[in-house]
Amino acid sequence: MTASALVDAAWLQGHLDDVVLLDATVDRHTEPDGTTVFVSGLALHTERRIPGAHFADLVAGFSDPGARFPFTRPSSDRIAAYARELGIRQDTEVVVYDRLSGAWAARVWWVLRSAGITRVRVLDGGLTAWEAARLPVTEGREPPPPPGDVVAAPAREHFTDLPRMRRIADGDDSTPAVCALRRTEYLGDPARPRSGHIPRTTNLPYADLLAPDHTLDPGRTAHLAQSHGLRQGAGTVLYCGGAINAAGLALALREIGIDDVVLYDGSLGEWRAHPELPLVTGPEGPRRGSG
C-alpha cells in the first residue's frame, strides 16, 4: 500500500509553504422549477478560505464546459494546462480541499491522477476540519501564482463510458458496479420519472463512509466494502449522479487498498438522458452467478 492520499489539518498547517493548496468548492442554485444547478464556488472561496489557497474551478477548469453533461472530464492536455495556471509544477505537491463533504476535492484529485499528475492529496474533512482545529481563515483571492510546468503523463484507465455500462446492465458479470448516491436516491421513486439506479448495480453511499466531523472513516469503509464484496483486482465501476460522489468513494476505497476502480463519467446524468435505457427502483436483486 502506498502512502495515504489524505492529509490532516495539523499536517497542512505545517506545510502550507511547501504545497500548492487548491479550494475545489462548488456552489449550487435551485431553479424555480426545483432543478439544482451547480455553479462556480468562487464567491464562497473569496468569502472564507484557508490562507494560501487558490481557487480550482471544477465547473469550467477541471471539466469540459462544452460537454453535454456537467463535470465531464476534459482532455489530459486541458487538465495539465489548467494545472499550470494554478502554479503546479512537475515537482509540486498538491493538496485539495472543499467546504462540503470532500467529494468535490476528491473529484479534482481523481481528474489530476487521470492525467498522470499524481502528487496530489486531499485534506481530510476539508474546511470543516481546518476550522474545527481553530486554524485561521482569510477572505479574498491570492495573487495569481507563477505558471507551473507540469505536463500530462500516461496513466492507467480512470474512466469508463456508456457502452460499458450498457453491457453491465445487460448482464455482464465480469465487472462489479456500485452507485455512490444516498440510499433514497439509489432506490428512487416509481412515481418520479427516470429515478432509481442502473440495473445490476449495488449501492454504497459515499456519505455513509464519513465520520460526524466529515473525515473519512477507514474502518467503516473496510467493513462496508467487505460486505459488498469489493476487492482489489476487480476493476469495480463507480457512478452516481455526475461522478462526484463516485470520486469520493474512489478516494475512500484507495485508503483501504482498493486502487483499481474506474468512474463512469457520464453517470446517471448521461444514462437518464437516454429514454430507452432502463432504470430500477427499489433494491437490486442478486447478480447472476452470486450466492
Please write the tens of the pLDDT for every residue from 193-221: 899 999 999 999 999 999 999 999 999 99
Q: Nearest-CA neighbor of 55 among 162, 188, 144?
A: 144
List the grid coordinates of 197: 439506479
* Model pLDDT, residue 29: 86
Q: Do 110 and 94 form a contact (C-beta atoms < 8 A)? A: no
pLDDT band at residue 2 under the 50/70/90 scheme: low
Phi and psi (nearest 5°) for 76?
-60, -40
List the grid coordinates of 24: 475545489
Residue 291 pLDDT > 70: no
Longest Cα–Cα distance in the chain: 58
Question: Please, which residues have CB within 8 angstroms of residue 174's CB and are 6 or more apart in sequence?
Answer: none
How do residues 239-282 score in pLDDT, each as one tens digit?
999 999 999 999 999 999 999 999 999 999 999 999 999 999 99
Q: Do 221 and 246 form a contact (C-beta atoms < 8 A)? A: no
CA atoms of 124 and 121, how far apart (whole Å): 9
Q: Which residue has the cell 460486505?
A: 227
pLDDT band at residue 31 under the 50/70/90 scheme: confident
3-state class of 80 per DSSP? helix
259-275 burial, b if ≥16 CB within 10 A, otherwise e? eebbbbbbbbbbbbeee
Q: Kindly give the pairing relationship between strand 120-123 and strand 36-40.
A: unpaired
Residue 1 pLDDT > 80: no
The percent of the chain in helix, strand and coil, each rounded to the nearest 5, is 30, 15, 55
Give the mean model confidence (pLDDT) for residues 59-77. Answer: 96
Residue 288 pLDDT > 50: no
Average pLDDT, the chain: 94
Ranges of beta strands (E only) in 56-149 are 93-97, 120-123
Residue 290 pLDDT > 50: no
Which amino acid is present at 191? A
Q: What percentage of the chain carries pLDDT values higher than 70?
A: 97
List the grid coordinates of 42: 468562487
pTM higher than the cut 0.85 = yes
